[in-house]
A and B are shown apart, each in its own frame.
Chain A
């Protein structure tokens, strides 16, 4: 399992709707802050990159010292982006992680009570994502 991993779902308009620190490393409270910052800055690259390819999994789009930002773009209304900041090199695992989280996300979207674009607060979703992270990352 990756020591550092920060997973985030960004809805269109670049609004983060779900964040989770899924790394196994001891949680530093300031790290989350940094991770958010790195992921936010990586959106600059994603916005350039997302339209150049038809692939959903954009692999490692940005590197920050030892950390890598992997991105998975869903076929959302305009763009829904799943972003993962991680230090592991297991690309296949990350891809599987993204795919399964995408499925979970679609299930959330199908919930009639969920307003697309709003924050995902489902604890069930959170648990599942963390389980997936343990499995794949």
Chain B
């Protein structure tokens, strides 16, 4: 059956659509052909698939072929049921008859004959040639057709249809199509059944020796092809799948047959994955042996063709990928026999082919997102796979220097085994010049410049040393020993930099690198070339590989890509970009970004630093974002280098900072120092656009351990902050600032605190002390650390290292921010009050105590300003005293606290008593007094110029307290930097020791008065009176004309606090000359008291402060004025106002005013002078009154008691209203001696003048 293969393929190629045979009985075909063929392909067809389920197919292509056609006739009928698929699927019998007889006699027997063969699906199309207007002909045709129907149609099946050549025929075409499709369906069913039967039979025989796969193959393929022809692609695909499965089973389970694998033909290196007809079947199927190499590709090609037809390019990719992988493995197992590197080349071409075709067919519509993602991922995989193989080939022929030694390439290449040809290709003759060229290239290629002096061992690109591998595979050589390879290794190190030498110890390496390069001089090559058994050197291997590859490679494009460095890079870039783009589209960002790094490396090599930086940034962002620092450490130096070259100072700086902030193990200290020096260098250079630098990862900070610093409102302080520096060396910060953020308040309070002086940060932990200006009350956490390195401002946000990196997701894990500073709300920190509330002595130097009480706050170094008010002086000659108040009990509300304080104070400074000097009105409190309540004693003297006055006991008129009030303004500056102020004005009460009141206790007939002087003690101290005397005023005298001292032996008289004592004086009045009284020399009597005082300053008044404290009692002198009033009831004259004669006074009307002056008693003194006249004077307002007569004058009045006289004055009121009447005064007589009886009116009523009628003339 294998012989039919060629025929089979020919048939397959020839027939691409189903055939409908036309039996043209009545020579009608030429007439109707055009119309019939117009209806092709069939619009709708319902066919049954293999599982007998109806499938609707649109546009089923078909072809009408006359049975007389050569194509059909040439076939031997039933020649081979195998090729049944090409037989007509339906037979249309075209007849026409206009005569019933003719039909009966000629046509019917003929038709019977034709339809005898029941195998075929046939039906009759009766063509009526009758014109529509020819009724007779139409009728006849109808008759004939009905006859035809009777004869050929059965109840089961309509086998006739009528075609009116000239009529309306739309229903006919539908009928025809349905009939044809029905026929096709039936035929197809039968044929499928037939093929299935055959396949089943063959399958049963499968394990028999006679069984041949080729028969099975042809059957299956025929079936598949038939399905394909009728557009049942799914079924066709299934057939191919089964075929492949069966083939693989056969291949795997019959090891007896040694089959040829294939792959030796020219062009076999190019995958024919998608071209089923790339090679004729006969070429790889011979004598029931299928060459696996071609056959599997053929099967895949058929499948993919169907898949494309089914619009499933994504599935082609999926199947293709696994096919390539499996197939590659298969190739690997036959690698010994295959041409050199065929496997690699095949994979490249296969991948590229699939990429090309699937991309072409893939329109991206009508697929789910998942499928699309998968599709792009596979595209990426294909690119990536072909890229690896391409790199491998390039490496073999010496483009290794162009391949970046990145983790991607290294991982992909170093784990990929070398090609394993049976014998490594030998160096062809006459290629010494090429070898020389390679050597030269190797020597010229510079090892890639390492940035920042990073000494990183290059990652390997070889699974094992190529030199060793190639030499090992040479037939004539056993494995060479190391010494043979030493020069080769030299090349490796200098040229391609392969990591094969990584196993050697560093010493070895150094020695090898210091070897002279002449080892690989051309001379050496020439000489070595002669000796064939000598191990090949690397350049030779490369040249040999190149030549071998050239032989294998049939694709000129691929060869061009490998032929030169530039072309290699171009292709390499294309593949890498393709892979990266597709991975990006499929959301495989990690794969994509790694490849982006490769693209960047190429750009970098070519000097496209802009593009390189862009790509590197993407890579770095991913690695940094996901925290894969090992990988980041690999790429970041390149990015930094790009940025450096591009003059992107900001980027470069941040890259340097990132490099510095990586884990310690990733870079050596020396490298890290280089990074730092770069940062410092840039920071100190003149940057065009200085940018703030974020060093959060490098410089971290936190508050010190322990409780937060607590400050009172308004206090400044120092905050100690721990700063970790990630720099490898000391770094000088020109300034350092920290912000404090208020927590738990609505307003965003951010305050900056500074450490302005230059700070040097050691690597690791540093403690920085920052001055803290007064802050608002609240709780503060550390905010941002800012500072300057050179001209560069930097900032850091992060707290201590060790936690996870900052990102939003970690917010929930964030440690509760510990407050570093608490500033309390304003509260009283100190209290100053007067120590004594009772009064002190006026006009004497007295101690005024000020209690200074700190309220849980240290007063260290505080200064008390003392400012006394008016009439109060501090005696500078005296020292100010300060003492602990432990002896002084104060009933303060927080007694317990003071108790404790007192106890503490007792322990350390009991009885502390110190004298302080007042300077410029301020004193400094001693340190011991910083935490204890103290009393500051000020020697003050309140002055009061006024003499104190005694009062009458009858009307006790107390002195106003305010008179004795003096004010001391105190200002305490305290706190750490004396920032706190406490001001208070303390009122101190001063008073005289006594309050004097007097009263006349008795009055003698002789005019003697007994004056009682009462002394009230006003102070809380015991007063001792030593002596008292009274200097009387004019008009009084002591009865005994003595010094005015009470002759008493009671002195000293002791007066207890707040008690009273009294002293009696006997005085009498003296005669006074009137007129002398007014200018009295001494209007008041003065009471002089000599006394002593004994009191405690802690309770009130006490002895005056004196410099000489000799202990002797000081006698004090107190004076008080007492006003003694002479008895006034002693009138000599009485002046009486006589009533007006008329009732009313009128303006302009004369009025007589009369006063009666009466002598009440005789006055000897006056009489003695013999002057009886009394001087009078009328006093009246000249505006109101006009006085007629003498205003002033003497009237004689007898000096006898009871003599009287009337003084008359005539007046005219000038104004109306209530006015003061004139008043009679007696200027010579003292007021005290005049008695007004009856008294004159205070006001008189003056009426307006009467209306005058004298000018009115009566008519």
Closest to A35 in B: B411
Closest to B411 in A: A34
Q: Could you tell me if A115 and B804 are in contact, using CB atoms closer than 8 angstroms?
A: yes
Q: Which residues in chain B, 622-678, are within 8 Å of chain A measured between CB atoms?
A: 623, 625-628, 630-631, 634
Given A15-B627, A30-B460, A117-B813, does the pair A38, B411 have CB atoms closer than 8 Å? yes
Q: Could you tell me if B628 and A30 are in contact, using CB atoms closer than 8 angstroms?
A: no
Q: Could you tell me if A117 and B804 are in contact, using CB atoms closer than 8 angstroms?
A: yes
Q: Could you tell me how many residues of chain A have their Cβ less than 8 Å away from some Cβ of chain B?
A: 27
Given A34-B411, A64-B415, does the pair A44, B628 have CB atoms closer than 8 Å? no
Given A64-B415, A65-B415, does the pair A40, B628 have CB atoms closer than 8 Å? yes
Q: At the interface, yes or no: B807 with Cβ under 8 Å from chain A?
A: yes
Closest to B583 in A: A44
Q: At the interface, yes or no: B408 with Cβ under 8 Å from chain A?
A: yes
Q: Could you tell me if B416 and A34 are in contact, using CB atoms closer than 8 angstroms?
A: no
The minimal Cβ–Cβ distance linking A9 to chain B, given in whole angstroms, is 12
Given A34-B459, A65-B415, A116-B813, does the pair A16, B802 have CB atoms closer than 8 Å? no
Q: At the interface, yes or no: A124 with Cβ under 8 Å from chain B?
A: no
Our pick among A38, A44, A115 for the contact of B588 (Cβ within 8 Å) is: A44
A66 CB contacts on chain B under 8 angstroms: 415
Q: Could you tell me if A37 and B594 are in contact, using CB atoms closer than 8 angstroms?
A: yes
Q: Could you tell me if A44 and B411 are in contact, using CB atoms closer than 8 angstroms?
A: no
Give Cα distance in the complex from A85 to B425, angstroms. Answer: 35
Give Cα distance in the complex from A38 to B407, angstroms. Answer: 9
Q: Could you tell me if A13 and B634 are in contact, using CB atoms closer than 8 angstroms?
A: no
A37 CB contacts on chain B under 8 angstroms: 407-408, 411, 594, 631
Q: Could you tell me if A33 and B630 are in contact, using CB atoms closer than 8 angstroms?
A: yes
Q: Which residues in chain A, 35-87, are within 8 Å of chain B measured between CB atoms?
A: 36-38, 40-41, 43-45, 64-67
Give Cα distance in the complex from A38 to B634, angstroms. Answer: 15
B460 CB contacts on chain A under 8 angstroms: 30
Q: Could you tell me if A40 and B631 are in contact, using CB atoms closer than 8 angstroms?
A: yes
Give Cα distance in the complex from A44 to B592, angstroms. Answer: 10
A103 CB contacts on chain B under 8 angstroms: none
Q: At the interface, yes or no: A130 with Cβ under 8 Å from chain B?
A: no
Give Cα distance in the complex from A115 to B811, angstroms. Answer: 12
The minimal Cβ–Cβ distance linking B381 to chain A, given in whole angstroms, is 11
Q: At the interface, yes or no: A14 with Cβ under 8 Å from chain B?
A: yes
Max count, chain B CB within 10 A of own CB: residue among A12, A16, A117? A117
Our pick among B411, B627, B802 for the contact of A64 (Cβ within 8 Å) is: B411
Decide if the interface of chain B is mainly helix, strand, loop or mixed: helix
Q: Could you tell me if A12 and B809 are in contact, using CB atoms closer than 8 angstroms?
A: yes
Give Cα distance in the complex from A66 to B594, angstroms. Answer: 21
Q: Could you tell me if B631 and A36 are in contact, using CB atoms closer than 8 angstroms?
A: yes
Q: Could you tell me if A13 and B502 are in contact, using CB atoms closer than 8 angstroms?
A: no
Q: Could you tell me if B813 and A115 are in contact, using CB atoms closer than 8 angstroms?
A: yes
Our pick among B410, B583, B590, B809 for the contact of A43 (Cβ within 8 Å) is: B590
Closest to B634 in A: A33
Closest to A29 in B: B457
Q: At the interface, yes or no: A108 with Cβ under 8 Å from chain B?
A: no
Our pick among A28, A32, A36 for the contact of B502 (Cβ within 8 Å) is: A28
Closest to A15 in B: B627
Q: At the interface, yes or no: B591 with Cβ under 8 Å from chain A?
A: yes
Q: At the interface, yes or no: A118 with Cβ under 8 Å from chain B?
A: yes
Contact with A along B452-463 (1 / 0, CB 8 A): 000001011000
Q: Could you tell me if A30 and B410 are in contact, using CB atoms closer than 8 angstroms?
A: yes
Given A30-B460, A115-B804, does the pair A44, B631 have CB atoms closer than 8 Å? no
Given A30-B457, A33-B407, does the pair A13, B807 have CB atoms closer than 8 Å? yes
Closest to A67 in B: B415
Give Cα distance in the complex from A16 to B627, angstroms. Answer: 7
A30 CB contacts on chain B under 8 angstroms: 410, 457, 459-460, 499, 502
Q: Which residues in chain A, 13-28, are within 8 Å of chain B measured between CB atoms?
A: 13-16, 28
Q: Could you tell me if B410 and A34 are in contact, using CB atoms closer than 8 angstroms?
A: yes
Q: Could you tell me if B457 and A14 are in contact, using CB atoms closer than 8 angstroms?
A: no
Give Cα distance in the complex from A12 to B807, angstroms. Answer: 12
Closest to A44 in B: B588
Q: Could you tell me if B459 and A65 are in contact, using CB atoms closer than 8 angstroms?
A: no
Q: At the interface, yes or no: B496 with Cβ under 8 Å from chain A?
A: no
Using CB atoms and an 8 Å cutoff, list the residues of chain A in contact with chain B.
12-16, 28-30, 32-34, 36-38, 40-41, 43-45, 64-67, 115-118
Q: Top 9 closest A-B pairs, CB basis?
A: A15-B627, A37-B407, A65-B415, A14-B626, A44-B588, A34-B411, A117-B804, A44-B590, A118-B804
Using CB atoms and an 8 Å cutoff, list the residues of chain B in contact with chain A.
407-408, 410-412, 414-416, 457, 459-460, 499, 502, 583, 587-591, 594, 623, 625-628, 630-631, 634, 802-805, 807, 809-810, 813, 815
Q: List 12 A-B contacts (CB under 8 A).
A: A13-B809, A16-B628, A30-B410, A33-B410, A34-B407, A34-B410, A40-B590, A40-B626, A67-B415, A115-B815, A117-B810, A118-B803
